[in-house]
């Protein structure tokens, strides 16, 4: 079936300039065909004296089946025949039967994101049948337009990009190709377990659909593409509106209160998505609107999401915080800092310096954090004030006050993040010093 090779060559043409292709290789039919097609593409390129990206196979051993280690060995043997480097990553999955699919998927994508580097592409073997199943699974969960867009052909993945070159091919086409080329693949016995939702669709729902609508795959794929277009268009409108009511990463709740509820919920969902890439469901959006928009302006509600993300309200603004509400910060942390390099503080943010400001450090610098009782005199001010009072006056949210970096020269506070310079450390107008910049982690 030369048309499959031709199809893949066209689909992957835009990626030929990438440094490396990682092929997600489980050993099953789909990834076995993808690996063979990529190998053929490489063989043809080398025969023609053309350059080709580095190719490596990435296998994730979920350790969920007794034969999992043997499967990894078989995959490695195939890759050795093709002279393709092989990486096996063992992951541990713990969870209920109904949740195991999601946990395994999360673990896989964490591996994929970790291995791709800048200018790399991760190739996945999802096909048209997978797309139809994903669409129906999300439909049964009550997904909106973004969810019903199903799997995108391409998206960012860590420092690289994920691409599904076979998304327009059916499983039947891949089976025919494998038989023609006498490819051997691994059959996971769990694929027949209809306790898993995807397997139930595959074995009990899809055959019935095919009897009445033989072209259902194409129809579902077309519907998913329309949902993807609608999601992209809606996202562009919401992004512009969110940008207009967001300052320093915080959403203006007072501005939200003046619009109709349906837009309130849409903007809340989109704000969280733009901050952390996490989509909340319909029920959560209603609950958020109730907590953050129906409450008084003086209240400070807190709402926890998956992944340790906490939503907090303060002075009429909504903040997204990646630090769990019950996690305390070690205020005793002390970091030596050379302003020639950025100071990355794990879980908090990054402090950097560049020429052009008015900060003039003296001696060795350290970065510390508020412990309580600190006082400083701001440049140009006649008297010192407690740091606590200053942070209150500046409207710094309470949960950020202990995590705001303080720049010390010796044992004296010289600057408060990039917000203020203390007396004795600020140059007069016209003299070139250092410009500090503090960026919270997102």
Domains of the chain as residue ranges with CATH: 2-213 (3.40.50.620), 245-321 (1.20.59.20), 335-440 (no CATH)
Rounded to a whole number of angstroms, the distance between the first and last alpha carbons of the chain is: 47
- Predicted confidence (pLDDT) at residue 313 exceeds the cutoff of 60: yes
pLDDT in tens, 194-207: 888 899 999 999 99
For the stretch 109-168, pLDDT in tens is: 999 999 999 999 999 999 999 999 999 999 998 888 999 999 999 999 989 999 999 999
pLDDT exceeds cutoff 80 at 305: yes
Per-residue model confidence (pLDDT) at position 28:
94
Neighbours of 441 (CB within 10 A): 13
Is residue 298's pLDDT more than 70? Answer: no
Identify which of 173-182, 267-276, 282-291 has the greatest average pLDDT. 173-182
Pairing of strands 406-409, 412-416: antiparallel
Please report the pLDDT score of residue 225 as a whole number.
94
**332 is annotated as contributing to ligand binding:** no
Check residue 328 and give its pLDDT: 62
How large is the average pLDDT for residues 396-416? 91
**Is residue 37 part of an annotated ligand binding site?**
no
Residue-level pLDDT at 84: 97
pLDDT tens string 243-274: 999 988 899 999 999 899 999 999 999 999 98
1-51 pLDDT per residue, tens? 578 999 999 999 999 999 999 999 999 999 999 999 999 999 999 999 999
Band (pLDDT 50/70/90 cuts) for residue 282 is confident
Q: Is 295 annotated as a binding residue?
A: no
Ranking 128-132, 313-317, 326-330, 350-354 by mean pLDDT, the lowest is 326-330
- pLDDT higher than threshold 80 for residue 336: yes
Q: Does pLDDT of 224 surpass 60? A: yes
pLDDT at 300: 76
Kindly state the average pLDDT of the residues 391-411. 90
- Considering only 9-23, 71-85, 354-368, which range has the smallest mean pLDDT? 354-368
User: Mean pLDDT for the chain?
Assistant: 90
For residue 322, pLDDT over 80 is answered with no
Q: Does residue 29 have a known ligand-binding role?
A: yes
Per-residue pLDDT, averaged over 398-410, amounts to 91
């Amino acid at each position: 079936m030369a048309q499959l090779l031709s199809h893949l060559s066209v689909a992957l043409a835009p990626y030929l300039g990438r440094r490396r292709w990682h092929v997600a290789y489980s050993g099953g039919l789909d990834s076995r065909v993808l690996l063979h097609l990529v190998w053929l593409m490489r063989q043809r390129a080398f025969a023609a004296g053309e350059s080709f990206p580095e190719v490596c196979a990435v296998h994730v051993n979920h350790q969920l089946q007794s034969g999992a280690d043997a499967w990894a060995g078989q995959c490695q043997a195939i890759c050795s025949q093709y002279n393709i480097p092989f990486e096996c990553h063992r992951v541990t999955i713990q969870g209920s039967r109904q949740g195991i699919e999601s946990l395994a998927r999360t673990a896989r994508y964490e591996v994929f994101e970790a291995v791709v580097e800048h200018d790399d592409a991760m190739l996945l073997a999802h096909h048209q049948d997978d797309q139809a199943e994903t669409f129906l699974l999300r439909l049964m969960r009550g997904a909106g337009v973004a969810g019903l867009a199903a799997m995108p052909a391409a998206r960012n993945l860590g420092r690289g990009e994920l691409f599904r070159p076979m998304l327009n091919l059916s499983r039947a086409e891949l089976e025919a190709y494998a038989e023609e080329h006498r490819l051997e693949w691994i059959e996971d016995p769990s694929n027949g377990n209809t306790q898993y939702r995807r397997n139930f669709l595959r074995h009990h729902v899809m055959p019935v659909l095919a009897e009445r609508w033989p072209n259902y795959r194409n129809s579902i794929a077309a519907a998913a593409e329309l949902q993807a277009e609608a999601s992209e268009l809606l996202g562009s409108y919401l992004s512009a509106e969110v940008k207009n009511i967001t300052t320093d990463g915080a959403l203006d709740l007072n501005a939200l209160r003046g619009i109709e509820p349906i837009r309130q919920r849409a903007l809340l969902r989109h704000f969280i998505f733009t901050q952390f890439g996490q989509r909340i469901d319909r029920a959560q959006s209603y609950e958020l609107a109730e907590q953050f928009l129906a409450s008084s302006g003086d209240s400070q509600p807190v709402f926890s999401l998956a992944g340790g993300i906490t939503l907090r309200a303060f002075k009429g603004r909504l903040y997204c915080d990646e630090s769990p509400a019950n996690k305390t910060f070690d205020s005793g942390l002390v970091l030596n800092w050379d302003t020639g390099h950025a100071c990355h503080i794990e879980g908090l943010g990054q402090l950097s310096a560049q020429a052009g400001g008015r900060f003039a450090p003296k001696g060795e610098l350290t970065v510390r954090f508020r412990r309580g009782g600190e006082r400083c005199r701001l440049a140009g001010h006649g008297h010192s004030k407690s740091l606590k009072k200053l942070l209150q006056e500046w409207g710094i949210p309470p949960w950020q006050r202990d995590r705001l970096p303080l720049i010390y020269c010796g044992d004296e506070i010289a600057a408060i993040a990039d917000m203020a310079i203390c007396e004795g450390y600020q140059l007069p107008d016209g003299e070139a010093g250092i410009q500090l910049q503090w960026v919270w982690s997102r």
